[in-house]
Structure 1
């Protein structure tokens, strides 16, 4: 029996499908170069090391990073953010963040607040997730060490003006950490041009790679305390973690197979370009918003139609719990979305949806216009049945 075709609108969580070359590269790596990278001089180990370096080079090209070795691989954005936050902040430091941050930023900050007594200031955005950068500069104190911002809200799709904040951070001698979970591979990122000192990114979302991959760019003039200590294959005679990059931040065996897939995902983006990808996703996003806003009882969250955003459409239907909506879309229509709080309670407080959560639909580069039409028709049917008491 044939399985029902899935309409996948959960790309903000993990992109799917991937370019075919991603799985092909992973299979090839497993067959030909699955030895430990950096842990031996035999041919397979050298080949595995080459896979990692090629992935770094492609990421460096995408993010305009001068030295690929300034990229430390991580399991995901959360891992990378923890390396940046815990590796840099000390007792007495002050940090500025926003009210649309993911828990991957908020929870490490709050943990250090309890543990070390750091100060944290959350700058509010408006209800649509748009930030006034002047508020960021006004919040800077003599002991401000870091500004951390999400490049794009994973709930609202709003885009934070990173380059403007980067200019402020450089002028005021404050380090800028950017959470690129929703922007890497979709929006253009130039770490030098935008004044980014630390860039945390996932491999499994916009970069089209597999889960369990990601990384952190660390400015060459910035040293972090490693999050983990252990074997690196270098300076093995020393009791301390080596200082050379990227070894200092990559204790343990790396995910060579996954990073081989990530390399192909990044290669696909470099070929297609972020401009083409973003424009395609934004067209689909506006199509979905236009269709949903005409349905009685629908409330859309985030910037208005026509305002630049990433491919995230969060909404509420009056009288229907978001979790029930997601269940009905999945079970009755074969449409995959996500409901709940999306790991950003601050974002829901900002948007006014904290009491209920929301439904989030997130198209991707491979989403078809007909699938957007099917999503709109499904929500219309659910709304109509509600009004008719079914």
Structure 2
């Protein structure tokens, strides 16, 4: 029996398999006006098609908890009633195809206010529809604007913003909330000593740098039902210590283990393990499974369930990750953009039972005759 296509239970939620859709920004929402940040028919089709394609969990892209939390002006948001109402169509469609709807709640921090990546990916000024980013310290991300250094009062408001978005996510029908603490965005920039140079309660020591992340988790967990899971996405390393030419102190796999213990104690049910920084600058050549060992390290050291990412493209590859205990689930990103029905084809390749919609199954089965 295929391990990849066995159910996975977290709290009271049973996820039908362990092949999940990773959150991927589509830069397709309205950038201004009443429809700002509102999911469109494109988002509905994009997410529902992966559910029909057999993914056990479908996670909506990084969704800004407030306007300046978006990566770009075209990102999704969840800070008002119009956005919340539009998301209900998406969660209903994902559930109708047997998948679990999940959402990644995010604030882009110092990497916010940028152009679409296929255009320029550059910082957009206020006159171009952008805004000043915010961060724990006034340290610019490479090539972007110097951010506003958050005050303690502003940090505490951000904690409330995450909680408010989580309430809206629940009302919209999502069954999993993921806190985005990776990829150099706001929470991650508090964690890493390379971007957090504060000297107050939110900077300096390891414990202080964790404070904002843990406060956000506590606030989200407080408004999220006890019987539904909360995920946390982390960058297990920012690849600074792996780069012999970079003298900055960075975030490491061992730091991630320490963070995982704290998250687990606060009710986080699964660690979504990615990495941050630039692999190229660290002289690392990404290959299949290149981020999986970090998920394994956290899982083995703490017992927290993990999901792995990183150039996972083949059914047998994903199966081996689960069977060998390297992770409890896999998140697929670009491969699901190439093939929305990857999970259905993977089930066939692994002698599991596909879950084609009836409208498709009739044709598929008839073709076999």
After TM superposition, the score normalised by the length of structure 2 is: 0.27
Greater Rg by CA:
1
Which of the pair has the greater relative contact order for Cα pairs under 8 Å at 6+ separation?
1
After TM superposition, the score normalised by the length of structure 1 is: 0.26
